[in-house]
Homo-oligomer: A and B are copies of this chain.
Amino acid sequence: MMFKATLAALLLIASPALADELRGTGDLGLIVEREAGSLLVVDRSERAALGRIEGLGDLSHASLVYSPDERFAYVFGRDGGLTKVDILTRQMVRRVVQAGNSIGGAISDDGRLVAVANYEPGGVKVFDAETLELVADVPMGSKTVGIADAPGSRFVVATWDTGEVWILDHSTDAAQPAVTKLEGIGANPYDALLTGDGRHYIVGLFGEKGLVQVDLWQDPPKVTRFLPDYGKDLPDLPVYKMPHLQGWTLAEGLFALPAVGLHQLLWVDAADLTEIARTDLAGQPVFALARPDKREVWVNFAPPDNDKLQVVDVLTHEVLDTLTPGKGVLHMEFAPRGREVWLSVRDEDRVEIRDTRTREVLGEIEARAPSGIFFTDRAHRTGL
């Protein structure tokens, strides 16, 4: 009896570390199951699901970032929940409901801090990545959007109500960031992106036309307005969705970006911020993502064309292929070196895996109304 009890205890202790759990984490990923409030843990190499982490609350528009060791993910839920999960043990580690309504987050380049941009009550809260204890609370008198990690333990964020960009520098003191505030950016920033080198922060405006670029390499940061007609109302074609700026891409010195309310992709010279070409598309673009080798841009669409994908040539700006993976293609995630792409086909409860060159279907994984797909290599990239 004593033997049995001891054996059971030993097995319990050993169970989180069974031999099949000893594995690298460079080829893992998480898929957001929005309706179910769960995350599917996937293995890229096996093209298979490993398990599920449940109970994450409201995951509409959820996003996540990874710890530098690619073991933990920080999940930002729309309900203000910040959840840390362990993808190796597939368990929730910690969860705090840190606000009433939040819109996204970022992890500092040293992996020590996680910041969340909040709608309600607004501002940014910064947490210790290990413990999720509150480190800094930075009210900004506004809802905040487009938070990103800039190099040097900094976070950059835009304020919806006041039209500002704030740079929080945590490099000398985690609890008391040095704040740089840029005023007069424009009316109602609704989203923003930081380029992969951490140099350019680009802000989309809801309250007026045009876009704003902040060059973080200059001191003080240099603010430039560009594309003065971007977002112009077109009454004959309703805008189903303002495109997320994370749907932009930078390839070969060009930005490829979805045109608001148009069936077009815009090509903008990154050096002088002028439009140089347009590509006609099969619908209203949502994400325009460069394949990691930058040779092609892959585009998905708003309803009613969200069953399609188009592949556009970066050199010629011509559409190379039109694919029809299925109903509700919400998100695309490329393998880090671009060999394959994973597609969320929400309305068919599955993720489809395609070869990025032959376009052939390589595999399929069942998932509950999948939306965002996040591979662990994101841990090593800036501006996500």
Contacts and interface: CB of A to CB of B under 8 A. Distances in A.
Interface of A: 2-3, 6-7, 10-11, 13-14, 16-19, 21-28, 44-45, 66-72, 88-89, 109-111, 149, 151-153, 171, 197-199, 217, 253, 271, 292-295, 315, 335-340, 357-358, 376-377, 379-382
A16 B22 CA distance: 8
A377 B28 CA distance: 14
B19 A16 contact: yes
A137 to B, nearest CB: 24
Contacts of A253: 253, 271
A22 B17 CA distance: 6
A23 B151 contact: no
A201 to B, nearest CB: 13
Contacts of A69: 23-28, 45
Nearest to A111: B45
Main secondary structure of the interface of A (DSSP, over half): loop
Copies in the complex: 2
A67 B24 contact: yes
A151 B338 contact: yes
Interface centre among A22, A153, A217, A382 (most CB of B within 10 A): A22
A26 B68 contact: yes
A382 B109 CA distance: 22
A150 to B, nearest CB: 9
B17 A152 contact: no
Nearest to A18: B17
A163 to B, nearest CB: 27
Given A69-B27, A293-B197, A337-B151, A380 B382 contact: no
Given A109-B339, A293-B197, A295-B199, A22 B153 contact: no
B44 A68 contact: yes
A66 B199 CA distance: 29
A72 to B, nearest CB: 8
Nearest to A20: B17
